A and B are shown apart, each in its own frame.
Chain A
């Protein structure tokens, strides 16, 4: 080995140093994102490169509360699948559930607290620190509390269930404000009200489609959007082919064919707004044709007197034969079930219609029977969350209060009333009167855009929480949601934000809300729950229970089926029967068409529109992607000389939207349908400025009994604008042209 002098050595080191520095600089300039193969030197627990781990949690893409399993590799979420042990999803998911990953990794997520610096609604936000943000909010609310003006603080949430709901409630109570409300466009207020009238229950019952043999759906798109689509789909599969030699039958009654209508054996487009009447007609036939044998037969026939099939047939434009046939099949099948939702539950007669449908179920004798309506026990907790639903009436009150200057601070979380309310109720304008609007949100939707301060929430895949599926599945169930990945940005789970705010405001709040994090809170509550259920025991035992629950993501008592719920009195049911015919806003001569807005399986009520996978998922019935359209019957279109792609002005008494026409073979003439979901003015790059929002032009008629918005009771007129717009579809020709693609004709039942 040759000798290296000290001088040489220094030179080498110097050269090496320059080389290293230069190399680093070069590397930095060339390669912006240095990605390390294994990001952490000391990997966190459960982290082994190349091995996937699954975490169970709860889906938050719709209110059904499906259990999901998330596949994690190298600390990143890769795939969402249904949680196999969860009784709602049973290992399955819908498209929206899968797309939850797009919410987690959405490029348009809010990453830090933001403060509005421009005009309100201008979208000019500046990043601020959490300390700053929390101090601002805390001091403001704290002052109001000290001044005994806390009732000027309002909290508006989406559909929040479980202990988060309790946390919100506690927060507001301690503050001294009883203005904690929830608003969810899809909340089945009418169904709740009707069930209360018919059955006297506050809890959504379980519709046992799985074991039904004959399913009569009045407008409820149970396979796409109604209440718990994944669970219903599972049930539907079973209804069709799950029983050896006994294939269930489904009938769908709605003016525009939905997914469930497509799946049905028969699709009946009754005159819009008369579906409830049709139910009464069928009920009449049931009784008069002798399919009902109850002791109260006479009372029923008296109550239904006015609804003879021939009269109903004239009103509904469904032939008398058909009504009689439906009644016969409904009356003679071993397990018949009737459900109502969609447009049937969104007229001015919504409650009356659902009551009529409930009567059908009663007459079929399916209450608390397999394949019928099964009454759920009170949910494990959060029984009262539903009562905080503001409904449309509640929102009008809120708007009134805001306009009157009664609201100083508005906290909004996970709800988007600017999008999901008709334009002319003026929610957005009313917000201008509120001095401080704070949004707790992960995305900059239309409502969040109006905020002065945005406190970014972590998504459901990064947060602790729990949930009680609503409706339950016939027995008590509760699910836990846990973070499956580390928080991506400088965001906090919403529960933690509430707890931090409580600490910031001070006073008795932090004394009562003493938990450091949502996780602590949830765990403590579960422990109480656990103790209450009589299983008081050792620390060890709870820990084991908790671990098991976390692993399973769900806890339930399948044995405790509430089969022996009291069957409601028929007298109350008979008494609640009312004439179920909807009124419509707009005069028929001016506005010849009935507007049928419908929730889509892709975006639900619009909350999925910011997820690229859903934007790129062809609409199941039309194959349209990335846009809105208005559906017309081919005959109507012919008469008006409208071709696909002609841009129409759809004008209602409440406003108008401009949208291209799509010829749709399965819609009643005289009805035009526009899907809900697109038409966002904000909400990130995938949703913004795409299509139209039909809710905005819905006239503000309300359901007579529940006070909810009758969003299917608006008439419209169509005007050709002369413009054309390409509707982007993935379908080519949607006729088989005589080719045997769908298989040989056959009738194996």
Chain B
């Protein structure tokens, strides 16, 4: 019992995950992002996001693991539009993780907030608890008009009705990179070897992804940028995504 308590305590300590090999992290430079939404379509292609149809959009039931939020500032003529890509922040203190009664969502040793579709029973509590509203529920089982289904990525599950889903940081790509590293007799994945679909496509290179445990990684350097901040930091969710604010001139 006491070892159990001990372990639990350790586990809850901040920095617990640093002991492990990786801590996948993303930085998003809002000064680069133009709101072009290439990342959204890239994600849809990579992760088998359903084509939900007009009706479902009207009901506000779309599924977009990464979305662009828009905020207006000021009024005409001094009006400004600000974009901010919003995806699962892979919080280190994720409110969604405590909520799931069946452990369908949990934190893995790489610092990822993972979602096990098979285990999900659909209470949707995680989505209520997530302050970033990046969890998407399968209200229906979606189908693809033939032959669109031929495009589906065989590395990613197609989800059925009743399960929650969200950004995985393209865990399938992480897996492949780790496998490759292992095959090459390397202990670690090289910086830049794992690129999630959104990061890969972003035409302005606003997104940077990598292992923040590696001080040499590009992402670690980006995180040190004085423009860095975390969205809704005051909620203490300790997100893994660092945003760099847009520069106002």
Direct A–B contact in complex, judged by CB atoms less than 8 Å apart: yes
Give A residues with C-beta under 8 Å from B: 73-74, 76-82, 91-95, 97-99, 101-102, 104-107, 223-224, 229-230, 233-234, 236-237, 240-241, 247, 249, 257, 259-263, 265, 267-269, 488, 601-602, 612-618, 620-621, 623, 625-627, 633-635, 665-669, 685, 726, 728, 730-731, 734-736, 739-749
Determine the chain A residues whose CB is within 8 A of the CB of B201 once the complex forms: 81-82, 92-93, 98
Determine the chain B residues whose CB is within 8 A of the CB of A488 once the complex forms: 147
Known: A76-B150, A730-B62, A748-B247. A262 touches B35 (CB 8 A): yes
Which residue, A97, A613, A635, has most C-beta atoms of chain B within 10 A? Answer: A613
- The interface bits of chain B over 139-151 (1 if a CB of A lies within 8 angstroms of the residue's CB, else 0) are 0000001111111
Q: Which of B24-32, B88-96, B158-166 contacts A (4 or more CB under 8 A)?
A: B24-32
Bound CA span A262–B74, Å: 13
Determine whether the beta carbon of A101 is less than 8 Å from that of B45.
Answer: yes
Determine whether the beta carbon of A105 is less than 8 Å from that of B150.
Answer: yes
Bound CA span A137–B82, Å: 55
Determine whether the beta carbon of A623 is less than 8 Å from that of B148.
Answer: no
Determine whether the beta carbon of A259 is less than 8 Å from that of B35.
Answer: yes
Known: A102-B148, A742-B245. A621 touches B81 (CB 8 A): yes
Residues from 40 to 63 in B contacting A, C-beta threshold 8 Å: 40-42, 44-46, 51-52, 54, 57-58, 60, 62
User: Who on chain B is nearest to A232 by CB?
Assistant: B203
- B4 CB-CB contact with A under 8 Å: no
Determine whether the beta carbon of A94 is less than 8 Å from that of B203.
Answer: yes
Determine whether the beta carbon of A107 is less than 8 Å from that of B146.
Answer: yes
Determine whether the beta carbon of A105 is less than 8 Å from that of B151.
Answer: yes
A229-B36, A233-B36, A626-B54 given. 12 additional CB < 8 A pairs?
A: A80-B45, A93-B38, A223-B34, A224-B36, A240-B31, A613-B44, A617-B41, A635-B76, A735-B71, A736-B71, A744-B229, A749-B249
Bound CA span A620–B33, Å: 12
Determine whether the beta carbon of B245 is less than 8 Å from that of A744.
Answer: yes
Bound CA span A586–B124, Å: 56
User: Who on chain B is nearest to A726 by CB?
Assistant: B58
Determine whether the beta carbon of A633 is less than 8 Å from that of B151.
Answer: no
Give B residues with C-beta under 8 Å from A: 29-32, 34-38, 40-42, 44-46, 51-52, 54, 57-58, 60, 62, 64, 67-73, 75-77, 79-84, 145-154, 197, 200-206, 226-227, 229, 231-234, 243-249
Determine the chain A residues whose CB is within 8 A of the CB of B245 once the complex forms: 742-744, 746
Determine whether the beta carbon of B29 is less than 8 Å from that of A95.
Answer: no
Which of A74, A236, A615, A635 contacts B34 (CB under 8 A)? A236
Determine the chain B residues whose CB is within 8 A of the CB of A734 once the complex forms: 70-72
> Which 10 residue pairs are nearest across A and B when measured between Cβ atoms?
A743-B245, A233-B203, A237-B204, A262-B81, A95-B41, A92-B203, A107-B145, A626-B54, A98-B41, A743-B229
Determine whether the beta carbon of B197 is less than 8 Å from that of A79.
Answer: yes
Bound CA span A612–B83, Å: 23
21 A-B residue pairs with CB within 8 Å: A78-B153, A79-B153, A98-B38, A98-B42, A223-B36, A230-B203, A233-B204, A234-B205, A240-B247, A602-B37, A613-B51, A620-B35, A626-B54, A627-B54, A667-B76, A726-B58, A730-B62, A734-B70, A735-B71, A740-B229, A749-B249
User: Who on chain B is nearest to A485 by CB?
Assistant: B150
Minimal beta-carbon separation of B232 from chain A (angstroms): 7
Number of residue pairs across A and B with beta carbons under 8 Å?
A: 233
Determine the chain B residues whose CB is within 8 A of the CB of A740 once the complex forms: 229, 232-234
Known: A105-B150, A257-B79, A669-B76. A241 touches B36 (CB 8 A): no
Which of A91, A625, A742 contacts B30 (CB under 8 A)? A742
Bound CA span A746–B31, Å: 12
Determine whether the beta carbon of B204 is less than 8 Å from that of A94.
Answer: no
Known: A93-B201, A105-B147. A617 touches B247 (CB 8 A): no
Determine the chain A residues whose CB is within 8 A of the CB of B62 once the complex forms: 616, 625, 730
Bound CA span A638–B152, Å: 47
Determine the chain B residues whose CB is within 8 A of the CB of A728 once the complex forms: 54, 57-58
Bound CA span A734–B70, Å: 6
Minimal beta-carbon separation of A365 from chain B (angstroms): 24
Determine whether the beta carbon of A741 is less than 8 Å from that of B58.
Answer: no
Determine the chain A residues whose CB is within 8 A of the CB of B30 once the complex forms: 742-743
Determine the chain A residues whose CB is within 8 A of the CB of B58 once the complex forms: 726, 728
User: Who on chain A is nearest to B225 by CB?
Assistant: A748
Determine whether the beta carbon of A741 is less than 8 Å from that of B32.
Answer: no
Determine the chain B residues whose CB is within 8 A of the CB of A236 once the complex forms: 32, 34, 204
Determine the chain A residues whose CB is within 8 A of the CB of B147 once the complex forms: 105, 107, 488
Determine whether the beta carbon of B57 is less than 8 Å from that of A95.
Answer: no
Which residue, B32, B231, B248, has most C-beta atoms of chain A within 10 A? Answer: B32
Determine whether the beta carbon of B41 is less than 8 Å from that of A612.
Answer: no
Which of B70, B79, B82 contacts A267 (CB under 8 A)? B79
Minimal beta-carbon separation of B199 from chain A (angstroms): 10
Minimal beta-carbon separation of B89 from chain A (angstroms): 12
Bound CA span A743–B234, Å: 12
Known: A236-B32, A669-B76, A743-B243. A229 touches B203 (CB 8 A): yes
Bound CA span A720–B218, Å: 55
Minimal beta-carbon separation of B2 from chain A (angstroms): 43
Minimal beta-carbon separation of A692 from chain B (angstroms): 16
Determine the chain A residues whose CB is within 8 A of the CB of B77 once the complex forms: 267-269, 668
Determine the chain B residues whose CB is within 8 A of the CB of A668 once the complex forms: 76-77
Determine the chain A residues whose CB is within 8 A of the CB of B34 once the complex forms: 223, 233, 236, 259-260, 262-263
Determine the chain A residues whose CB is within 8 A of the CB of B38 once the complex forms: 92-95, 97-98
Minimal beta-carbon separation of A294 from chain B (angstroms): 29
Determine whether the beta carbon of B204 is less than 8 Å from that of A620.
Answer: no
Which residue, A229, A617, A627, A742, has most C-beta atoms of chain B within 10 A? Answer: A742
Bound CA span A261–B35, Å: 11
Determine whether the beta carbon of A616 is less than 8 Å from that of B42.
Answer: no
Bound CA span A261–B82, Å: 11
Minimal beta-carbon separation of B247 from chain A (angstroms): 6
Determine whether the beta carbon of B29 is less than 8 Å from that of A241.
Answer: yes
Known: A230-B203, A744-B229, A749-B247. A633 touches B76 (CB 8 A): yes
Bound CA span A94–B121, Å: 36
Minimal beta-carbon separation of B228 from chain A (angstroms): 8
Determine whether the beta carbon of B232 is less than 8 Å from that of A741.
Answer: yes
Known: A241-B31, A263-B34. A745 touches B248 (CB 8 A): yes
Minimal beta-carbon separation of A490 from chain B (angstroms): 14
Determine whether the beta carbon of A735 is less than 8 Å from that of B72.
Answer: yes
Determine whether the beta carbon of A93 is less than 8 Å from that of B42.
Answer: yes
Determine whether the beta carbon of B51 is less than 8 Å from that of A741.
Answer: no
Minimal beta-carbon separation of A501 from chain B (angstroms): 28
User: Who on chain B is nearest to A625 by CB?
Assistant: B57
Known: A79-B45, A749-B247. A741 touches B71 (CB 8 A): yes
Determine whether the beta carbon of A101 is less than 8 Å from that of B151.
Answer: yes
Determine the chain A residues whose CB is within 8 A of the CB of B32 once the complex forms: 236-237, 240-241
Bound CA span A106–B144, Å: 10
User: Who on chain B is nearest to A222 by CB?
Assistant: B34
Determine the chain B residues whose CB is within 8 A of the CB of A106 once the complex forms: 148
Determine the chain A residues whose CB is within 8 A of the CB of B70 once the complex forms: 621, 623, 731, 734
Which residue, A259, A268, A620, has most C-beta atoms of chain B within 10 A? Answer: A620
Bound CA span A323–B93, Å: 51
Known: A669-B76, A742-B245. A79 touches B46 (CB 8 A): yes
Determine the chain A residues whose CB is within 8 A of the CB of B75 once the complex forms: 634, 665
Determine the chain B residues whose CB is within 8 A of the CB of A93 once the complex forms: 38, 42, 201, 203
User: Who on chain B is nearest to A737 by CB?
Assistant: B71
Which residue, B36, B69, B200, B202, has most C-beta atoms of chain A within 10 A? Answer: B36
Known: A73-B154, A262-B35, A734-B70. A612 touches B197 (CB 8 A): no
Determine the chain A residues whose CB is within 8 A of the CB of B79 once the complex forms: 257, 267, 665-666
Which residue, A107, A616, A739, has most C-beta atoms of chain B within 10 A? Answer: A616
Determine the chain B residues whose CB is within 8 A of the CB of A101 once the complex forms: 45, 151
Determine whether the beta carbon of A741 is less than 8 Å from that of B231.
Answer: yes
Bound CA span A621–B35, Å: 8
Known: A488-B147, A731-B70, A749-B247. A601 touches B36 (CB 8 A): yes
Bound CA span A98–B203, Å: 12
